[in-house]
Amino acid sequence: MTQIKFPKLFSPLDLGFTQLKNRAVMGSMHTGLEETKNGFDKMAAYYEERARGGVGLIVTGGISPNFAGRVAPFSAQLSFFWQVKNHQKITDAVHKAGGKIALQILHAGRYAFHPLSVAPSSIKAPISPFKPWALSGWGVKKTIRDFVNCASLAQKSGYDGVEVMGSEGYLINEFLVSKTNKRKDEWGGDYSQRMRFAVEIVKQIREKVGPKFIIIFRLSMIDLIENGSNWDEVVQLAKAIEAAGATIINTGIGWHEARIPTIATMVPRGAFTSVTHKLKKEIKIPLITTNRINTPEVAEKILSQGDSDMVSMARPFLADPEFMNKAQLGIENEINTCIGCNQACLDHIFAQKIASCLVNPRACNETELKYLPTSKKIKIAVVGAGPAGLSFSIVAAQRGHEVHLFDMNSEIGGQLNLAKKVPGKEEFYESIRYFSKMIQKYNVNLKLNHKITSHEIIESQYDKIIMAVGVKPRTPNIEGINHAKVISYYDLLNGKKQIESGASVAIIGAGGIGFDVAEFLTEKDHSLSLDQNEFAKHWGIDFTVESRGGVTGVKRNIHPPIRKVYLLQRNESKMGERLGKTTGWIHRAMLKDKQVEMLNGVTYEKIDDQGLHISHQSKRQILNVNYIVTCAGQESNRELYSELQNSNQHFKSNTILIGGADVASELDAKRAIDQGARLAATIELS
């Protein structure tokens, strides 16, 4: 049993007035459901599923205590008694499922995306177009009262506690740091004055809610900005927050404006927990640590090292609400692991869409997307075991259908097998492991090394045929494209062709794959995401926080690239424009660090022994490179589909395209998995 496998993770935490059943916290995540129609019913279902999945404590997405503090004009706020009954839907559902839940109070400060934003001083954030209004002395006191009122309403709503968001560069954090707090009154000046705002909030909330209510304070332990807090200040604040009546201190890592990755997939697992460890000896109340903790093994290790008393995982509970139950049962290899991609969660929020999860399309869609048992089992052939075919197969089989899955390769995963070889994308190994486990669990009949023909499909009398055969790389129409120097990304990443260290390479096409290939070619044999020291050196992070904010004056130590790379596109638009909102800047920064020359507005003339002939900014030039790698997008695989369409009426109406075989343009694993799961959720005999 897992009680023995993960003993630290599953030991209860006694808070005196209440007990948490284990050491896992579902960290706060804004999902967009907070502001949507029937959002409270949807949130109740979403949180209930996570509570049933066994997590010890849930923290809601951030809710503003007043109008100015809203992250965006229509973001959620809790300030009025009439709002209590809505929140009760959530707390009732969570409590019925045996869980506990705290409401996060988040005042966005100068990060608020509207013209009424407020801050300690009127200094615009580099990531916001709005200059905030400086709070008056009266405004500061009123804001504290709003925090207290919000906490009190949370208590009336049945929440087990609140989390006061004091990190990530939001309002409370802005009071703490001299760079954003230039006040001359009692809320500015030296550190003891700058921290008063945070301390007063906790103190006054405790006075209002009494002793039997959880108060978590999320404290920025490493700001990752120049002239952020230093370690003495972090300790001073933590002690004051403890004395003010907080029950638990949670770790905050980095301000949102920091240009250092903190949660993306290229961040090593558990990279920041040593910072929490450093605070352990300074205070008595429990500490939570956080960021890129995505497996029970990592969580257990962190707790065993004594880095913290609890671990916070946020996105891993989007990916798999049953994370904790599976870990407890010792079937942790059935956990659908969060791969840290941000593609369906944070990127959606930035695009003002409801969050979900690339590996679990049900996340935040619990009330609409249900995998219910079928009343009539049918026989289905799925051709292609890439993400689309895999996702379809496991959901259809889980619902009770007979699923036969074919792939011509020797392993499942399709293009994820290429993606996993890119430095910083190793988490795709976990997705393939998960699918593989689910294939066994739901008895999907898998046949590898099997290029199925239309004849075989017709013979076998399937009720439905799912065509998930993906895409083939596009061969651009350039004179000399068959030259020996030219390699497709497919052959490069699957190891069919190699490029020696020291070679020079031009990449045709700067989409997601072009960027990945550039990283693959410039990075040394190892990946920063697998080496915390190298990660710290590359980004200039001082994990001891001796330097202010953990970065001030810290030199970056970047390995020189092992190949000279040019990355090219025809379009005049910004390079990497279509990369993820929350991760594109990291890819661009990595390539800049690796001195990749990025050229847009390029016309390809020809390829010959001299290299790649291009026109750029009206000038002809020759890139005298040893290799040219084509990453020029893909086209759908449609041969088999066409053959079936031309066979008879049954196959014409019962063959369905999904994933890249359906639409190649702008295809990614998110769309492939989502489409597969949604079709499987409803497929029946027609």
| Beta carbon of residue 674, minimum distance to ligand FAD (angstroms, whole number) | 10
What are the phi and psi torsion angles at 141 (to 5°)? -65, -40
What are the phi and psi torsion angles at 153 (to 5°)? -65, -35
How far, in Å, CA of 345 to CA of 405, rounded? Answer: 29
Task: Give start and end residues of each alpha helix (H) in 261-414.
Answer: 273-280, 296-304, 315-319, 323-329, 346-350, 387-398
Nearer to ligand NAP, 389 or 580 (CB): 580
Nearer to ligand SF4, 244 or 359 (CB): 359
Q: Provide the 3-class DSSP secondary structure of residue 614.
A: strand
613 binds ligand SF4 (CB under 6 A): no
628 has which bridge partners?
A: 486, 506
**Residue 173 binds which one of ligand NAP, ligand FAD, ligand SF4, none, with CB within 5 to 8 A depending on kind?**
none
Rounded to 10 deg, the angle between the 196-209 and 231-244 helix axes is 20
Residues 438-497 close enough to bind ligand NAP by CB under 6 A: 474, 476
**Burial of residue 191 (number of CB atoms within 10 Å: 0-12, 13-18, 19+):** middle
Q: Which of 637, 641, 654, 679 binds ligand FAD (CB under 6 A)?
A: 637
103 binds ligand FAD (CB under 6 A): no
Instruction: Give the CA angle between residues 263, 418, 407 to the nearest 5°.
Output: 125
Residue 5, H or E segment:
helix 2-5
| Beta carbon of residue 478, minimum distance to ligand FAD (angstroms, whole number) | 21
Catalytic residue among 47, 111, 159, 170: 170
Cα–Cα distances (Å) from 120 to 47, 172, 195, 335, in that order, read: 34, 9, 12, 44
Determine contact, residues 90/134, Cβ cutoff 8 Å: no
| Beta carbon of residue 120, minimum distance to ligand NAP (angstroms, whole number) | 37
Residues 384-443 close enough to bind ligand FAD by CB under 6 A: 384-389, 406-409, 414-416, 418-419, 422, 425
Which is it for strands 634-636 and 445-447: parallel, antiparallel or unpaired? unpaired
51 binds ligand SF4 (CB under 6 A): no
| Beta carbon of residue 600, minimum distance to ligand NAP (angstroms, whole number) | 7
How far, in Å, CA of 176 to CA of 536, rounded? Answer: 25
Determine contact, residues 225/549, Cβ cutoff 8 Å: yes
Q: Which of 27, 120, 161, 509 binds ligand NAP (CB under 6 A)?
A: 509
**Of 49-57, 342-350, 407-415, 548-556: span binding ligand SF4 (CB under 6 A):** 342-350
How far, in Å, CA of 126 to CA of 576, rounded? Answer: 21
**Residue 631 binds which one of ligand NAP, ligand SF4, ligand FAD, none, with CB within 5 to 8 A depending on kind?**
ligand NAP
**Of 116-124, 357-365, 389-397, 651-659: span binding ligand SF4 (CB under 6 A):** 357-365
Nearer to ligand NAP, 167 or 522 (CB): 522
**Of 27-35, 283-291, 441-449, 629-637: span binding ligand NAP (CB under 6 A):** 629-637
To which residue do tokens 């989409």 refer? 511
Closest CA to 70 of 153, 137, 130, 123: 130
580 binds ligand NAP (CB under 6 A): yes
Site mask for ligand SF4 (CB under 6 A), range 214-233, x = bound: --------------------
633 binds ligand NAP (CB under 6 A): yes
Q: Which of 343, 393, 522, 532 binds ligand NAP (CB under 6 A)?
A: 343
What are the phi and psi torsion angles at 194 (to 5°)? -65, -30
Nearer to ligand NAP, 268 or 580 (CB): 580
Residues 491-550 close enough to bind ligand FAD by CB under 6 A: 493, 512-513, 516
516 binds ligand NAP (CB under 6 A): yes
Nearer to ligand NAP, 244 or 602 (CB): 602
Nearer to ligand FAD, 57 or 418 (CB): 418
Cα–Cα distances (Å) from 291 to 312, 316, 340, 526, 528, in that order, read: 7, 11, 10, 22, 16
Q: Is 170 a catalytic residue?
A: yes
Can you give 615-656 as a three-state secondary structure string? Answer: EECCEEEEECCCEEEECCCEEECCHHHHHHHCCCHHHHHHEE
**Burial of residue 537 (number of CB atoms within 10 Å: 0-12, 13-18, 19+):** middle
To which residue do tokens 């006054």 refer? 204
Nearer to ligand FAD, 122 or 409 (CB): 409
Residue, CB closest to ligand FAD: 386
285 binds ligand SF4 (CB under 6 A): no
Q: Which of 39, 61, 166, 340 binds ligand SF4 (CB under 6 A)?
A: 340
Positive or negative CA dihedral for 322, 327, 333, 338? positive
Contacts with ligand FAD, residue ranges (CB under 6 A): 341, 343, 383-389, 406-409, 414-416, 418-419, 422, 425, 451-452, 468-471, 493, 512-513, 516, 637, 640, 659-660, 667-670, 672
| Residues belonging to the active site | 170
Contacts with ligand SF4, residue ranges (CB under 6 A): 315, 318-319, 338-345, 357-359
Contacts with ligand NAP, residue ranges (CB under 6 A): 343, 474, 476, 508-514, 516, 569-571, 578, 580, 631-634, 666-668
